[in-house]
Structure formats: C-alpha cells, structure tokens
Amino acid sequence: DTYLKLEDVTRKFNKPCIMDVKIGQKSYDPYASAEKIQQQVSKYPLMEEIGFLVLGMRVYHVSSDSYETQNQHYGRSLTKETVKDGISRFFHSGYCLRKDVVAASIQKVEKILEWFEGQTQLNFYASSLLFVYEGSCQATTVQLSDVTLPEKRRVPKGLLPGGDVLEYNNNINVINSTENGKIEASVSKGLSKFYALHKKACSKRHHSQLSLKVENSEQDNVWKTSTCITQEHLNGNVLPQLEKVFYHVPAETKESANVEVRMIDFAHVFPSNTKDEGYIYGLKNLITVLQNILDN
C-alpha cells in the first residue's frame, strides 16, 4: 500500500513565521505546452535571472502582537535590485532584524544545496522551500559567569534587578553597572561572527555537519561548544531519492535559532541523468541574498 505522509511543520512553534519560496529558473516542466510555458513565464519574467520567487510570507511582529501577511503578488513585484530588502522583511520582528534566524536558514539551505550538488537522478520544477521560525519572544535564561540574562530578541532598553542596564541590538549584550555607574563588563557575541566561525569549521569537515551548541550548565555556568553529526533517515516518501533531502537532527542538538527549512511541492519532479542546474542556480542565488542580509 502507498500512503501520503503529511506533517505539520509549524506544530512546535508558538508564533510561527512562514515563507514559501519557489526555487529554480523554470517553473514549467519539460512536457509543458507552449501555452503553459508562456503562462508561467509571464507570471514572473525574472524567474530565470533570479532563480527563485517568494510565493508568500506570514511574519509575526512582536511590537504589535500581530501578523503581517504578503501574498504572491508581493513576491512578483520584487526585482533583482529589491529582492534582498523584500526577503529581509520576513526576518524582521518589528523591533529588529533576526540575524540569528538568517544565519540558521543559510545553514539549512546549504545542506539542501549539498544534496543537489551530489545527485543526478531527479530534476525539480515549481518546487518550493518552506521557511518557518519562532516569532515570539518567550524569555529564556542564559547564565554567563555570575550574570543572569533574560534573553529576548529585541526590546527597548530596560533595567535588570539591582539597577543593571540591559540592551538588545541583534547581539547578546550583558552590561553590569558598578558602584560609580561605570560599565564593569560588556560581553557581545555577534551572531554573524558565530556563523562565520561555524562555516569555517564546516569547511574542514566534509563528511559531517558541525553545529554550535550554546547550553546552560547549572553546575559551572559556562558556555560550551560541541560537534554533532547529522544523520539521514528514511521518511516514507514514495520516491526513495527524495528521502535523502530531509535530515534528522538528534534531539540534543540545539541551534542558535528555532528554524525549519523544508522542501515541499513535488508535483513536477522528473527523472534525469544530470544535475538539476536550474534548482542549484536558485539555491546559490538565494544563499547569496541571505548572506547579504546577514552581512549588511
């Protein structure tokens, strides 16, 4: 018996932010009629040049406790010059740009690109990547030396118990005031720097994935890093080749942000004996745009 297995990717999120991005230079398959080809090209003539199309997004804004929704017309209005700003809108909480989410998204898209670079069995048309991340600012506590930091993504300047000043500016900043009001310690770990170090380390490990795990140890209150190898597992899809796309990450692995990037929409997948250059082009261009958002 054959079954279609469905999963609610948003199930573990409190305020899921969602974006659907169609990948590839062509959104029509090799057997499409001339009428169908013209119809698809006319929808977004820049598809071949840009390599992807934003089909829609839903972003939670912490500042207003509401969602912003954009449909496919928003994505089709984006040009080569405006696509970076258009996509960065998905990563903005209303207070700040979620660079931690951008960095985690890049890592996951790179995993998918790695699979496509190594397979010559299938070509994908009109298939998408689904991006999901947690938009709420549920407070967690991170211990750093003897300082306790209630960590939120972006809130106005405020005070910690005891008069300590707390700031949020895309980085984790801990500022502890002294008796004379001067700054005693300032610790700032830029998320973009974390990603740069992560990427550098990954390049040295061709057969494993290196992830940075920041954990709170109640015994010694120190920041630790550890490596883990992501494993592939079969998920019951009809096409065995597709199963390799989805990576099983061990439960103990914790990334800098709660992010999912999944391949979806496989209605137009065809056998092939060459690399899917159109899809690879779209993935690389999307990674470049995300990296520009992270850097700038």
CATH number where 288 lies: 3.30.470.160
Q: Which domain holds residue 130?
A: 15-138+257-295
136 contacts 17 by C-beta, under 8 angstroms: no
Q: Which of 250, 246, 51, 238 lies closest to 130, judged by CA? A: 246
Count structural domains, the chain. 1
Whether residue 95 lies inside any domain: the answer is yes
pLDDT at residue 82 tops 90:
yes
Whether residue 285 lies inside any domain: the answer is yes
d(CA 133, CA 190): 20
Confidence of residue 200 (pLDDT cuts 50, 70, 90): low
Whether residue 50 lies inside any domain: the answer is yes
Whether residue 147 lies inside any domain: the answer is no
6-41 pLDDT tens trace: 999 999 999 999 999 999 999 999 999 999 999 999
State the pLDDT at residue 296.
86
Average pLDDT over residues 96-110: 97
Provide the whole-model pTM.
0.62
pLDDT at residue 153 tops 60:
no
Nearby residues of 35 by Cβ (< 8 Å), 6 or more positions away:
none
State the pLDDT at residue 197.
52
Whether residue 96 lies inside any domain: the answer is yes
Least confident of 3-7, 86-90, 163-167, 227-231: 227-231
Whether residue 76 lies inside any domain: the answer is yes
Q: How far apart are the first and last CA of the chain?
A: 51
